[in-house]
Amino acid sequence: MPEQLAFALEVTANGLMAGVLYALVALGFVLIYKASGIFNYAQGVMALFAALTLAGIMDGQVPFSHLINAIFGTDVHYFGWNVPAFLAILLTMVVMIALAYAVQRLVFRHLVGQEPIILFMATIGLAYFLEGVGDLMWGSDIKSMDVGLPQGINGWIDNTTFELFGYGFFIDNLDIVASIIAALLVIGLVIYAQYTKQGRAMRAVADDHQAALSVGVSLNFIWILVWSLAGFVALVAGIMWGTKSGVQFSLSLIALKALPVLMLGGFTSIPGAIVGGLIIGVGEKLFEFLIGAPFLGGATENWFAYMLALIFLVFRPQGLFGEKIIERV
Partner 1 sequence: MLYRESGDFSSTYPQDSQTFPIKFDRYRYYFVLFIAIAVIPFIINDYWVNSLFLPFLIYAIAAIGLNILVGYCGQVSLGTGGFMAVGAYACYKLMTSFPDISMLVHVLLSGLITAAVGVLFGLPSLRIKGFYLAVATLAAQFFLVWLFNRVPWFYNYSASGQISAPERTFFGINITGANTQAWATYLFCLMFVIFSAYIARNLTRGSVGRKWMAIRDMDIAAEIIGVNPLRAKLTAFAVSSFFVGISGALFFSIYLGAVEVGEVFGIQKSFLVLFMIIIGGLGSIFGSFAGAAFLVLLPVVLKIVGVDWLGWPTDIVAHLQLVIVGGLIIVFLIAEPHGLAQLWRVAKEKLRLWPFPH
In the complex, which residues of this chain contact partner 1 (CB under 8 A)?
Answer: 39, 66-67, 70-71, 107, 110-111, 114, 116-118, 120-122, 124-133, 135-136, 140, 256, 259-260, 262-263, 267, 296-300, 302-303, 306-307, 309-310, 313-314, 317, 319, 325, 327-329
| Residue number, 121 or 176, with CB nearest to partner 1 | 121
Q: Looking at the chain, list the stretches that DSSP marks H as alpha helix, in order from N- to C-terminal side.
A: 2-36, 43-59, 65-72, 85-102, 116-138, 155-165, 173-195, 197-207, 209-214, 219-245, 254-265, 270-287, 301-315
CA angle 107, 119, 271 (to 5 degrees): 110
Contact by Cβ (8 Å): 251, 46: no
Least distance from partner 1 to the Cβ atom of residue 314, Å:
5
Nearest residue (CB) to partner 1, 169 versus 287: 287
Nearer of residues 108 and 232 to partner 1, judged by Cβ: 108
CB of 119 to partner 1, least distance (A): 8
Toward partner 1, which CB reaches closer, 1 or 311? 311
CB of 156 to partner 1, least distance (A): 37
- In whole angstroms, the minimum distance from the beta carbon of 107 to partner 1 comes to 6
Closest CB 308 distance from partner 1, rounded Å: 9
Q: Report the candidate in 123, 116, 109 with the shortest Cα–Cα distance to residue 131.
A: 123
Q: Which residue type, as a one-letter code, is found at position 233?
A: V
Considering the complex, state which of residue 97 and residue 124 has its C-beta at the smaller distance from partner 1. 124
Which burial class, exposed, middle or buried, applies to 299 when counting CB atoms under 10 A from its CB (0-12, 13-18, 19+)? exposed
Provide the minimum distance between the beta carbon of 179 and partner 1 in the complex, in angstroms, as a whole number.
25
Comparison of 71 and 215: residue with beta carbon closer to partner 1: 71
Centre a 10 Å sphere on the Cβ of residue 4 and count the other Cβ atoms it contains.
Answer: 10
The minimum distance between CB 244 and partner 1, in angstroms, equals 21
Residue placing its CB nearer to partner 1 in the complex, 133 or 204 = 133
Q: How many CB atoms lie within 10 A of CB 326?
A: 6
Nearest alpha carbon to residue 212 among 27, 39, 35, 40: 35
226-240 exposure pattern, b = at least 16 Cβ within 10 A, e = fewer:
bbbbbbbbbbbbbbb
CB of 251 to partner 1, least distance (A): 15
Nearer to partner 1, 128 or 162 (CB): 128
**Do residues 196 and 34 make contact, with C-beta atoms less than 8 angstroms apart?**
no
